């Protein structure tokens, strides 16, 4: 099985102009992808169509109004949780029979500890500079499209023939890029650290993007099985 590991370097490849990977995709398709993926490329418009599908899906997940909605909902959930924890801590202090003056530093520390898993969503009026940049979006598109083209086997090709399944599978690869894929000492999918803060919460995908929550795990399992049975580039 291919294992998901953290890697320190990212494959930039044409991030600025978007021409790096896209220009070499026909050459990669002819030599590395499976016969089933090649048949998909011939039926559905070739490498350009695959690249455009990946780019459209990734931009929807990272830069659309739906993404901004997810970030606002996440911030509201975080604020509600922090308020609930703060109220509970204050009740505990009020019911303390020792009648000592409350230590505000201790109260704030307790709230921070109980809400330590809350991340800070990038979409807010206070932090517009943390929106997904064009370079990061392009890097994600190149990484996912390259993964599908070079290592996509029979199982992946079946997913790409169905519009809804293809969208879900590309979404799963984008979320998998948070940790990356390394197989037999080779980097199959680069780790993109910024995705930890730029992607919507997986719990919000079904309601906002109409993407099944379990499709993330399904996509990871499919690509791992295909990678296991495909020869790697020398």
- Residue 108 in any domain: the answer is yes
* Assigned domain for 125 exists: yes
Confidence tier at 29 by pLDDT (50, 70, 90): very low
Q: Does residue 153 form part of some domain? A: yes
Does 51 share its domain with 154? yes
Question: In this structure, is residue 141 part of a structural domain?
Answer: yes
Q: Are residues 28 and 116 in the same domain?
A: no
Q: pLDDT of 217-228, one tens digit each?
A: 888 888 888 777
Residue 229 tokens read as 């049975």
- Domain count of the chain? 2
Around Cβ 135, how many Cβ atoms within 10 Å?
12
pTM of the shown model: 0.70
pLDDT of residue 1: 44
Burial label for 105, CB within 10 Å (0-12, 13-18, 19+), is exposed
CA distances from 79 to 84, 85, 126, 127, 144 (A): 9, 10, 15, 16, 34
R_g (Cα) of the chain, nearest Å: 22
Beta bridge partners of 189: 181
- Look at residue 93 in the predicted model and tell me its pLDDT: 82
Decide which of 85, 100, 129 is a domain's last residue. 129
Residue 29 sits in the same domain as residue 94: no
40 domain-assigned: yes
Domain with 93 in it: 67-129
Let me know whether 90 and 139 are in one domain.
no
Give the model confidence (pLDDT) of 115-161 as tens digits: 888 887 554 444 444 456 788 999 999 999 888 888 777 788 888 88
Residue 5 has a pLDDT of 45
Q: Tell which wins on pLDDT, 60 or 7.
A: 60
Specify if 39 maps to a domain. yes
In tens, the pLDDT along 84-97 reads 999 998 888 888 77
pLDDT of residue 16 exceeding 70, the answer is no
22-31: which pairs have CB atoms within 8 A and are 24 or more residues apart? 22/47, 22/48, 22/51, 22/142, 22/145, 25/50, 25/51, 25/145, 25/146, 25/149, 28/146, 28/149, 28/150, 29/149
Structure tokens at 120: 């800070």
| Residue where one domain finishes, among candidates 102, 129, 156 | 129
Q: Which residue has the tokens 């190149």?
A: 142
Judge whether residue 172 has pLDDT over 90: yes
In a domain, 234, yes or no: no
Of 76, 101, 129, the one marking the end of a domain is 129
pLDDT of residue 231: 61
Q: 118 and 50, same structural domain?
A: no
Q: Are residues 85 and 158 in the same domain?
A: no
Q: Residue 151: what pLDDT?
A: 78
> Are residues 142 and 223 located together in one domain of the fold?
yes
Are 48 and 151 in a shared domain?
yes
| Mean confidence (pLDDT) of the chain | 76
Instruction: Kindly state whether residues 146 and 55 are assigned to the same domain.
Output: yes
Are residues 57 and 140 both part of a single domain? Answer: yes
pLDDT at 223: 85
What pLDDT score does 228 carry?
77
Select the more confidently predicted residue: 26 or 143: 143
pLDDT digits (tens, 9 = 90+) for 180-216: 988 777 788 899 988 988 888 888 889 889 899 888 8
The residue ranking higher by pLDDT, 45 or 48, is 48
Indicate whether 171 pLDDT > 90: yes
Residue 97 lies in a domain: yes
Tokens 């089933």 belong to 36
- For 2-11, 14-23, 52-61, 186-195, which range has the lowest pLDDT when averaged over its residues? 2-11
């Amino acid at each position: 099985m291919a294992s998901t590991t953290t890697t320190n370097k990212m494959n930039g490849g044409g991030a600025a102009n978007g021409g790096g990977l896209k220009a070499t995709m026909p050459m990669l398709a002819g030599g590395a992808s499976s016969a089933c993926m090649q048949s998909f490329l011939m039926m559905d418009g070739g490498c350009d169509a695959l690249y455009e599908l990946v780019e459209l899906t990734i931009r929807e997940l990272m830069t659309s109004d739906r993404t901004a909605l997810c970030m606002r909902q996440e911030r509201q959930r975080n604020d509600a949780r922090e308020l609930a924890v703060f109220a509970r801590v204050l009740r505990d202090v009020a019911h303390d029979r020792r009648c000592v003056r409350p230590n505000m530093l201790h109260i704030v520390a307790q709230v921070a500890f109980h809400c330590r898993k809350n991340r800070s969503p990038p979409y807010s009026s206070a932090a517009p500079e943390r929106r997904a940049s064009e370079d990061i979006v392009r890097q994600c598109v190149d990484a996912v499209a390259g993964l599908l083209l070079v290592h996509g086997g029979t199982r992946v090709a079946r997913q790409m023939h169905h519009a809804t399944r293809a969208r879900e599978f590309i979404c799963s690869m984008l979320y998998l890029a948070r940790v990356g894929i390394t197989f037999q000492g080779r980097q199959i999918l680069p780790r993109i650290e910024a995705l930890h803060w730029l992607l919507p919460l997986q719990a919000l995908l079904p309601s906002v993007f109409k993407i099944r929550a379990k499709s993330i795990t399904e996509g990871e399992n499919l690509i791992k099985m295909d990678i296991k049975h495909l020869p790697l580039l020398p």
